[in-house]
Structure 1
Amino acid sequence: MDPLKYIFEKPYMSSRIARWQVLLAEYDIIYMTRKSVKGSKIADHLANNAIEDYEPLNFDFLDEDVLVMEKEEKSGWWAMYFDSAVNVSGNGAGAVIISPEGKQYPISVKLHFSCTNNTAEYEACIHGLEAASKMKVGKLEVYGDSMLTICQVKGEWQTRDEKLRPYQEYLSKLAESFDEIEFAHLGRDKNQFANALATLASMAIIDCGAKIQPVSIKIRNSPSHCCLIEEETDNDPWYTDIKRFIQHQEYPSGASKIDKRTFRRMAMKYYIDGEILYKRSFDGTLLRCLGDLEANKALQEVHGGICATHANRHMMARQLQRADVIGPINPKASNGHRFILVAIDYFTKWVEACSYAHLTQKVVKRPKMNGAVEAANKNIKKIVQKMVITYKDWHDWLSYALHAYRIAVRTSTGATPYSLVYGMEAVVPLEVEIPSLRVLMESGLEETEWVKIRYEQLNMISERRLAAICHHQLYQRRVAKAYE
C-alpha cells in the first residue's frame, strides 16, 4: 500500500503517524491516485526531449552463429546422487552410483535413530561415499539437492552446528580416499531416484540383520496382456481342428452334439487355400491364421520392428508439410550429427529426412504458418525415441522410422504415402517370412503377368490420388464442422 495514501485517507492513526499527518497538512498536499501511462505518451516525451550526444544501442549478438554450448564430457568419471527422507514413518538415506558406462548401483539405508534433515543428508552422502570407496572409484562427481551439505563440504559455508561438525570431518576424510572428487548442487527434480530410495528405506519395516536383495526395475513399453499367447501343448496350432473339419469333415474326439453344432457354425467363418487357413473379417478381408511361433514373430515385428509406429498412428495424426529442422540434438550422434532436416510433399505426405552435423540459415527456408511442421517434428522425434537402443545411435534408426511413417495410413488422405507415390502398398518383411495372401498370389505369376498387373496399377495411380484428394476435402470439412 502507498504510505502517503495511508496517511491522508485513514481516519484513525497512531501517535507518530498522526504527527506526520499534522506536519504534512501545512503544505496543503492532496493525494491523487496514479493513472496508467500509455507507451505512446512516453515515446512522444522521449522524442520531444531528445539528447544531442545520444549513442544508439548496439543489439548485435556476439557469436550469433553459435547455437549451443556443450560441456566437455569427462572420461572415466563416476557420478553419485544422494538424498534423505525424514518423516513420521522413519528416517532413511538413499544414494545411487553411476559408472561411466551408465550402470547404476542403488543404495538404500534405514536409519534407526533420531536425526534432523541436515544430519540425514550427511548420512546419505557418507553412505554413498563409503560404497564408492569400496568399489575402488578413482574420479567421482557428487550431486545432492541439499545446499547446506554441499556448501559446507566445499568450504563455502561455515559449520556452526555442533551436531554437523563430526559429519563434516568424517566426510572430508572420506573425500581424501579418491583421486579426484567434485561436489555440485542440483534441483530436486533431477534427484528423484535417490529421493525414492531414501523414502523407500524410511517407510519400509525391516528387522535388524535382515538383508534385502537389490531392487530390479524393468521398463515395459506395452501392457502385459498384449503379447499373451496360449501355449500349444500337443505341438499342433490352435486351428488344427478347424482345418481338419474343413478338409475332411472330421470333428474333434469326444465332441458332443452341442459342440459339433457350434463347431459347424464356427467353421463357416474360415476359408482354406491349399494348406493355409484364413478367417473372414467383418469387412471381407482374409486374415491368415498363425501358430505360436509365427504369432510371436508377428507381434515382435508389429510392436518392436520397423512397423512399431503403426500401433500409435492415432497419436501421429497431425501432419507434416514442407521443410523444417529438428535440432540441435544433445547429446549428438556417434557420427557427430546434431540436426535433422525434414522435408515433406504437401499432398502425398511423403517424408524425407537427413541428419547433418551443421546447418546454416541459407539451407533451410521456413515458410510462414509453419506450426504444422513443428508438430510434425515432435512426431518424428517420438518415433526415433521408441526405436533407439543407446542415446547416440539415433541416426542409424532414422531410415527405419521414415519407412514406418511412409507405410502408415494418413488420416487426412485415407491412404499411405507409399501407395500415393508408387501406386501399390509396400511389402512388409514379415509378409515374406510368413507369406500373406497377396504374396502367395503374386509368387505364382509369371514375370510377364506380373509386369502387366504392375502396369495396370501405375495407370490407376491417378484415380488413387483423386480419391485421396476427395477424402482430404471431406476430412477438412468434418474438422471444420467439429470446431464451428
Structure 2
Amino acid sequence: MGPQAENMEYALWFNFPATNNKDEYEAMIIELRAENENVGQLSRLATTYYTELSEEVYVEVCDQPAYEEVVVKNITSSNPMDWRTPIIEYLVHGHLPSDSLEAKKVHNRSFKYQIYQGKLYRKCWDGPLLTCVATEVAPKVLAEVQQGWCGIHIGARSLAIKITRAGYNWPTVVKDATAYVKRCDVCQLMGNAPQLPTSALTPVVSPIPFAMWGIDLVGKLPKAKGGAEFAIITVDYFNKWVEAVPLKKTKSENVIHFLGKTSSHLGSP
C-alpha cells in the first residue's frame, strides 16, 4: 500500500533451498486468496513459474541468500588433561584441584578468563575476548598464521603478537612460537646470519681493569746498557696493560720498590 492508497504488487522468487515450511505458507496463501482476489497473482508463485504472472506483478529473482550461513567449528579438546579443564571446572562448578598449591594457581588465574556461550575466553585489556585453544590445536593455529593465505614468515615475538590479534590464546604461546620459528626452514634461511665466531668463547676472568694482575720475573737476559740482566713484568688481565722494569739483581728490595711504584698510579690488585 502506497502513500496515496495505491496497491503495488511485489514478489520475491528464491532460486535456492529455503528453510521455511512450504506447506504452512501455501496454506496462508490459499486463505488470503479467498479474502482478496488481488492476491491470486502472488499466490501462483508457490505452484507456478513467475513468467505466467500478470505484467503488473513485479518479481525479483534471488539466486543466493542475503546472509550466508557459516558453520563455526568449536575448538574443543578431548584430552582430559587439557589446561582449560581446571579453569572451566572452577568457573562453572566452583571445583578446585585437591592439591592446595595447584588450587591456588587455578584460583588466581581464573580472574583472567570468562565463560561465554559454553566456551572459555581470555580477557584482554586492549581488545576483544581471546578464544582459548587446546594444546593440540596450537600447532595448527601457528601454521595457519605463519604460512596461511595471509601468513608471513616473521619472528617468534611478532608471531605471538599476531596470534593474539587474531583472537587466540594459550599459556605457552610465546614459547611455542619460538620453537616453531626455529623449526621453520624458510624462517631460518631468511633470518639474520649469526656473527659470532665458531670457536668457543673465552670467559672474562677479570671483571674490571686492574682487578687482577700477572707478575713474572724474567732472566737471565743478555746484559743491557747499565748492566741490567733481569726484568720484572706485570700484566693486567682485563685490558692487557703491561708494566716492565729492568733490574741488575733480583733482590726483594727491588721487587717491593716496583710493586709500590706500580700500585701508586694503578691501584692494588
Normalised by the length of structure 1, the TM-score is 0.20
Give 1 or 2: higher helix fraction: 1
Which of 1 and 2 has greater Rg? 2
Normalised by the length of structure 2, the TM-score is 0.30
